[in-house]
Chains A and B, each alone.
Chain A
Amino acid sequence: MTIPASRKLWLGFAVAMLWLYVLLWPLLGIKPEGLEFAASTAIWAKVAVVSAILLALWQLKGRGVFDFASRPAQALSQALGKATGRVATWIWLVLVFAGAVVFPLVTERYAHDVAISVLVYICLGLGLNVVVGMAGLLDLGYIAFYGVGAYTYALLSVHFGLSFWLCLPIAGAFSACAGCIIGYPTLRMRGDYLAIVTLGFGEIVRIVLNNWMSLTHGPNGILGIKPPGAYWWQDGHIEHIWLGSLEQFYYVILGLAVCTIVAVHRLNHSRIGRAFEAVREDQTAAELMGVNTLGIKLLAYSLGAIFGGLAGAFFAARMRFVSPESFTFIESAMVLAMVVLGGMGSIPGVILGALALIALPEIFRGFELYRMFVFGGVMAMMMLFRPKGLWPAKRMGVRSEERD
């Protein structure tokens, strides 16, 4: 980097920091008791120092100062990549799966609890991934389907005593219906209108759950939901136990997550998956190639809804309590952040995203309040620096722009 370019960079940095101070100080410094500068200056100084260091490092990296360290590191990572690449994918999958199965045997209750939430969010993230990642439809009301699934099981369990396993497909079907009802009028719209309309629908579902007292008990929620049962045949009649402990819940959701992963993977490689991708890349071209675009979008939307509904039914069984509070817009944004962070359209990416967004904050417990703040910022910055996510999706086939 030349000297003038560098000077310009630092000048821009100085202006940005000045701007930051002007924006930060009034929020923290003006109090009815008087003006104070200490708190905002302290925060500002931290931000300024950290970003100055990062900027300097980035500049030095551009000049090749770190080549002595980065070259061997790169060579090492390449060698590692080659070595791991030689091991077949299925061995990795078996290893990961075995790790997941053994996990509750070697950990504590608290870790089980966190692992269960991670798995629930993996299911949700994969479902949303079908809609956003594969079909390219930005859905900001996805959590509504989670809510529909949860309330379906909750109501069926409380009023009719139906079994979890019977309700699971019913919840999926209900969510799919909800997806069709919401999708049919909205999916003709252009991408960004769709985002805000799905947001509206998500809010409508929550408001209805909150106010339909006779059905949902409003904000009080529904209590007394049964956990899943395990059934077997013994001495001429059916025996059963309730799978009420955390470990048992863990295995139930692990099974559900594995099914979801397999289903989404198969979907990705199917004709329908290709059609999703075609609609995402260029709707007009897809239509010209004979893809029924509205039908495909509706399919993507309701398939995503099914996974959401299944996860919702499990959530109701796990908590044994549902209330509208669990289905706010922030939850939708969380799931979306997972998909975006991990890499849109990529299954391992979504799993990574769920781990990062659910498990990391558990480790940094003290920063609980800053969670959404950081994720919002990261989501915006990801689009600038790594729009394809942490683990980008592999694209299938050969593209014309790559061939040239």
Chain B
Amino acid sequence: MAPAFHKAQHVEVFLQQLVNGITLGGVYALVALGYTMVYGIIQLINFAHGEIFAAGGYMGVILISWMVAQGYPPFVCLGVALVLAMGYCALLAMAVEKLVYKPLRSSSRLSVLLSALGMSIFLQNGLMLTQGVYDRAYPGEMVQGGFEIGGAVVSYMQVVIVGITVALLVGLNALVFKTRVGKAMRATAQDKTMSALVGINASRIISLTFAIGAALACAAGIMVGMYYGSVRYDMGFVLGVKAFSAAVLGGIGNITGAMLGGLIIGMIEVFAAGYISSEYKDVFAFIILIGVLYFMPTGIMGENVDDTRV
């Protein structure tokens, strides 16, 4: 339990939690985007998305440790690792989509869901087999130090994480709302048949959606790895569910909603851990998920979900 604070300390603790919440929430938002985009376009809960996130974390640790050993400066390591790992995860997600989801596009929902679950178990154990059961530590000397605002300590690591997150979110927004490809994506999400009639290659757009979602999740994986200092093969599971909660909270299929939902879930988790109970911090996301689905199934920004495909 939290000890009795002075008034000033109350403010400090609050600010500190706020900073931590923003950092974590941004990461959740990045993962939530992958869920929401895929769901928006093919109405599938991509269970393997959490594993793509974990694979991203591992690719980060693999590439960064290698480049640090080669003696490159930390920021070059981080930048190059980020780009390469994002490409890797995009390829991985596209392979999963081509191999498993695409042939099942006309099957029943239950079988697609089950094969997604199977894929998630497959990838998770694949990571375990190739990378080992134990935590892999990120090189410690990446970004050090920090500064203080109003008593709350902000580490440079957090600044870097928030910076990368914001850049990626802005980039995604531009891609989806400003470019031709983005327009094609939105059109496919709205009506697959109609968009095919006007000459959009739906299957390529779906592939691309998986790739973009995976790249974002990968960046999130690397940042979570750096933030907590290590990665584990099964870290995608709980984070995946939390990010999915964020996507549902924001309104599944809605990109802005997923960003907002991620931020809210991150905040709630951090504040609940700080003020209520840290043992039960993972439970709050689940409770929010259940509450939102029960009372407000369309989420904060979602439109009416089509109910015919039960």
Contact = CB atoms under 8 A, between A and B. Distances in A.
B142 to A, nearest CB: 14
Contacts of A32: 65-66, 68-69
Given A191-B113, A196-B241, A30 B121 contact: no
A127 to B, nearest CB: 18
Contact of A30 (B62, B107, B127, B286): B62
Nearest to A29: B62
B290 A380 contact: no
A324 B246 CA distance: 27
A379 B69 contact: no
A182 B280 CA distance: 18
A196 B126 contact: no
A248 interface: no
A376 B129 CA distance: 13
B289 A383 contact: no
Interface string A280-314: 00011000000000000000000000000000000
Contacts of A381: 115, 118
Contact of B109 (A186, A191, A380): A191
Interface stretch (B88-96, B194-202, B219-227, B262-270): B88-96
Contact of A136 (B43, B91, B107, B110): B110
A380 B99 CA distance: 10
A200 interface: yes
A28 B307 contact: no
Contacts of A382: 115, 118
A4 to B, nearest CB: 21
User: In this complex, which of A32, A189, A333 has the most chain B Cβ atoms within 10 angstroms of its Cβ?
Assistant: A32
Interface residues of B, number: 64
Given A32-B66, A384-B100, A191 B244 contact: no
A contact face: mostly helix, strand, loop, or mixed: helix
B88 A204 contact: no
B contact face: mostly helix, strand, loop, or mixed: helix
User: In this complex, which of B111, B125, B297 has the most chain A Cβ atoms within 10 angstroms of its Cβ?
Assistant: B125
A166 B241 CA distance: 38
A16 B96 CA distance: 11
Contacts of A188: 294
B310 A376 contact: no
Nearest to B121: A376
Interface in A174-228: 185-186, 188-193, 195-197, 199-201, 203-204, 207-208, 210-211
Contacts of B107: 383, 387
B92 to A, nearest CB: 6
A22 to B, nearest CB: 6
Nearest to A195: B113
Interface stretch (A85-93, A230-238, A365-373): A365-373
B241 A200 contact: yes
B283 A376 contact: no
Which 3 pairs between the two chains have the least Cβ-Cβ distance? A379-B118, A376-B121, A376-B122
9 contacts: A32-B65, A32-B68, A138-B110, A204-B287, A211-B280, A369-B128, A376-B118, A379-B117, A381-B118
Interface of A: 16, 19-20, 22-23, 26-28, 30-33, 35, 136, 138, 140, 185-186, 188-193, 195-197, 199-201, 203-204, 207-208, 210-211, 283-284, 329-330, 333, 336-337, 340, 369-370, 372-373, 375-384, 387
